[in-house]
Every structure is written in C-alpha cells, then in structure tokens.
Amino acid sequence: MRSSNVLIQNVHIIKRTELNNFITIIMIRIYPYIFSLLACIGIALPGYSQVDRNETLIRSALHGLEYEIKAGFSIGGTAPLPLPVEIRSIDGYNPTLAISIGGEVTKWIAVQNKLGIIVGLRLENKAMTTEATVKNYNMEILGQGGERISGVWTGGVKTKVHTAGLTIPLMATYKLSNRWNIKAGPYFSYLLSREFSGHVYEGYLREDDPTGPKVEFTDDKIATYDFSDDLRHFQWGLQVGAGWRAFKHLNVYADLTWGLNDIFKSDFNTITFAMYPIYLNIGFGYAF
C-alpha cells in the first residue's frame, strides 16, 4: 500500500513537471521567432508604408489606437512580506528561466493624446528556486511510505516555484514625452500549470507541534513536500512600469508586477503566512 502511494505521488510530480517543461519549451521555441518577426517588421514596414500604408493601421491611428507586440524576461520570486520569524536566513536563490510573450492595445483618449488606457494579453511563466534555514516552520512532508507527516520543521528547506499562465493587464498610461511613458493598473492571471515543491534536509521535524515526537533527517537524508495542488488558479495584483521609444517602432520597457492575493488557496493551512509573486519584467516591443 505504501509503495502504491509513493508511485502515485511520483506520477503526479512527473506529470506536473512535464506540463511545466512543455509550456516553457514552447515559449522558448516561439521566442526567437517573435524577435525575428519584430526585426523583419522593423525593416520592412517603413519601406512598405512609404508606398502603400495599411488602411486599417491608418484608421486605427486616427481613432487613437496603438498596437504592440512584446517579448521579455522576468526575474523575481514568490515571497512572504514581511519575512516571517520562522525563516532565519536565505541561503540560496536562483531565478531560473522566466519569459513572457504577448500583445497590448492602447487607446489614447485625452490631453492631446497623452493619456491612454492599455489592455493586453500575455503568456508568461514565473519561476525561482530558493534555499533557506528555518526554525519551527510549519511543514507537511511525505514519508518513506507516501504518508503525509505534519509538524514543525527546523533545518534546511529547498523550494521550487514554477507557474505558467495567461495574464490580462488593464492599465492607465501617460506620455511624459515623445519617447517616455509610464503606466499602472491591475492585472489578472489564470495559471495553466502550478508547481510549489521541494525538500527538507539537515534538520528535524517535531510532529504536530514544537513539543511532539522528533524525526531527524541528517547525513544527506531528505524528505520531500509538494503543495502544488494547493496553489490558486486565479491571481491578481498591481503592475507598474515605464517604456522608452528607442526607435520609431521599437520600444524598450520595464514592468514590475506585485501580487496582491496569497498564492495559496484559503483552506490551505500548512504554511501559515501569505506569499506573493513579485517580478520585474524587462523586454522589447514593436509598436504599430
């Protein structure tokens, strides 16, 4: 029975990892084509527009509409704020590969077309791996037979967070000049894949509470945990950023996204503090 539980747990982890890897691979393969497309459009469109401007683009411009294709990299992490007392030190951090691909539509509405509204859609993944030393940290580990053991952990914790999903930003934007603009507003995300897993090492677990039976893990022994199914599908937060028009159609941008709802479901009680995704996205866009 125990071996069956372990097998089921391993199958779930493998399937989740395969889905995350599949989405990441698809995004990586698309990424060079997006940049190539941006470059080709940048070269071809000026010459084309001198001969025969696209009527749809002219009509859009007359109505104050602007379109942009964007691609970028993200760096950041999923963290509690403020840092809880249970986490004594951060011993390692690896942002891992996180990319985004999407598009935005801007409607310039007022103040000599300096004020506008942005609506977008992007496919993105967010990822990190961390190591920390903790004390009396609520934890639910998987035993050798696949059983779940709850208690408080003191020792090392390694955590991997990887999510991929669709995000809709809805922002107000303002042109500071012909080259610079700023923007801010909410974003709404739906996660297509979720992973929050890891292992504990070099420490001990007190079952149930800090005075419970002691289970030690030393000499390279580890115990795994997996809270992936406890992550919310729906997340929302605030996005603020700025853009710089490097050339006539090419933009460089930087956006900070700050999650405002806990990544875990409301009925998840193992981790006793809220955690939020906080990421900086930097990239390029082609506006037309």
What is the structure's pLDDT at 172? Answer: 98
Listed by start position, the domains of the chain span 2-287
- Cα angle, residue 165 at apex, residues 161 and 168 outer, rounded to 5°: 125
Q: What is the DSSP string of 27-94?
A: HHHHHHHHHHHHHHHHHHHHHHHHH---HHHHHHHHTTEEEEEEEEEEEEEEE-SSPPTTEEEEEEEE
Q: What is the pLDDT of residues 150-206, one digit of tens each?
A: 999 999 999 999 999 999 999 999 999 999 999 999 999 999 999 999 999 999 999
Task: Kindly report the average pLDDT of the chain as a whole number.
Answer: 86
What is the structure's pLDDT at 7? Answer: 46
C-alpha distance across the termini of the chain, in Å: 61
**Helix or strand holding residue 7 (H, E):** helix 2-51
Tokens of residue 203, six digits: 């420490």
What is the structure's pLDDT at 18? Answer: 63
Looking at per-residue pLDDT, the higher value among 46 and 188 belongs to 188
For the entire predicted model, the pTM comes to: 0.83
Average pLDDT of the residues in 211-217: 91
82 has pLDDT over 80: yes
Percent of the chain with pLDDT over 90: 67
pLDDT band of 26, cuts 50, 70, 90: low
Q: What is the pLDDT of residues 96-115, one digit of tens each?
A: 989 999 999 999 987 678 99
Q: Give yes or no for a contact between 209 and 151, defined as CB atoms under 8 angstroms apart.
A: yes
- C-alpha–C-alpha distance, residues 37 and 244, integer Å: 20
Tokens of residue 80, six digits: 């509690």
Looking at per-residue pLDDT, the higher value among 35 and 226 belongs to 226
Q: Give yes or no for a contact between 266 and 232, defined as CB atoms under 8 angstroms apart.
A: no
Partner residues linked to 100 by β-bridges:
72, 124
31 has pLDDT over 80: no
143 has pLDDT over 90: no
Average pLDDT of the residues in 47-73: 69
Q: Return all residues near 96 (Cβ < 8 A) that are at least 6 apart.
A: 127, 128, 129, 162
